[in-house]
Structure 1
């Protein structure tokens, strides 16, 4: 489990040009605790600082509680920093995390190897405090700018939730993660009931407002950082729930169903209720083979069809736990 080395100060530091406050998360990785202690005071006032003393621990921390930047030693037992960096860059959920090597190595060949592994910078020990602080700030700023552009490209223009491309990427990544860890992966396919009738009666502009309200209500109830709510297309949404068993996913599905019904958006042309409702199809699997997660998506879609056939405004489940 992640081990916070220290929490940030009470005064939050906003990222450059951001309108909301965000404390960047900094991970320091070194097998010698004394080196971590020497770097910590440089960043404690401005960042949330975490520590790892091995390559495996660093990888686990980056997957579970993603930092905004990693300060990484090269020479470590068991797994050196170069391999840690390569593995971070090989996984879609950690590839965008900038890595700065802070090491006792000095040669151009060693620096070239670090950059070839995917690092954004290379700082030799003993560090100059002003220099290392400036480089960390620069690379955090660059990451925030890249994240902003990436987020704009990955959001659905109408509802503001992630789009289909994000869903496809995350489904592949989470399928493979659950395959490695032998964990259950659940997926909810969500459809606004009789939305065509809603559009025909209230008009497309009001239909857009309805979809926005539905997306917002779903998003509010999807709280875990690894969970993904995305617009699949039209009036369909998908909720991806990594490391969630069937019971947990069923609880979430019913929570989302009730959240939409509780909006009490009038729907005079619905044969289901006098308000807007949703139908949900649920599938849970423990991946056994490498794929892009398509079987899970298809299974949830089948259950969504069953939910519509059985009267809508309900959850139907494919309890397909592959043991």
Structure 2
């Protein structure tokens, strides 16, 4: 197998996350190893055809992958990894020189957890740290999950698999749960007007804001699309969803005051929270309702708006809407 490890077995540090770098360029893999090896155990594979066999025999916490590779491209390989029950849980971050919207969208649809445009070395460590914080929270919840057989989950995005586990637990336990979608409303404007490093700074601010606002160790925030985050709040009723949404709006006010003081672009967020009642509800139905809700226009200028709207379904207690900026 054409793979190499920056650390020998004897040098591998127990307890460190293991990152697999997949890139047909040995120059690129060596540069990434040099940047990452002081914090993580790093293994590299230059031939994408060898990846699936490698993953069956080794434990990997996260994958960094190029898009343009011979024999099988990164997007197709991502679909294969996410389509296997054995490897679907592994977060995949694409690192590429292709800065095109349609390419990024294809990566999200394939199931990636993040998308970075080269050069990435100034931002990669921050982004990895954030992903491992999110992954640790997800692992905490998975240990609590009552769902044992996940074989039927193949084919969904990994966060949908995660949500199915959570919904099963809530349905079995007859408990409520809440989902909160947070959308970066001015993302396209930021892309059009800011440098890659400045966009990265804004994304990290949003990620940090959401992670720090979570109520407990089993709440999870996932970047589900290029400009959207999904927050899963187990065992949380309407009051928790309302409080979480309110805290986001309050914290963002302070962030934007700082950004404006530094003559930087502010962040505008649209937040929609829904709460499942004690009746059974499928995760796909919850996601569909959340998608419909966040697509609805709110008749207000971007400002600090906090409102609730009734929901016709008896299985959903309420929906919380907020615009924050």
TM bucket by the smaller chain? 0.3 to 0.5
In the superposition, the TM-score normalised over structure 1's length comes to: 0.47
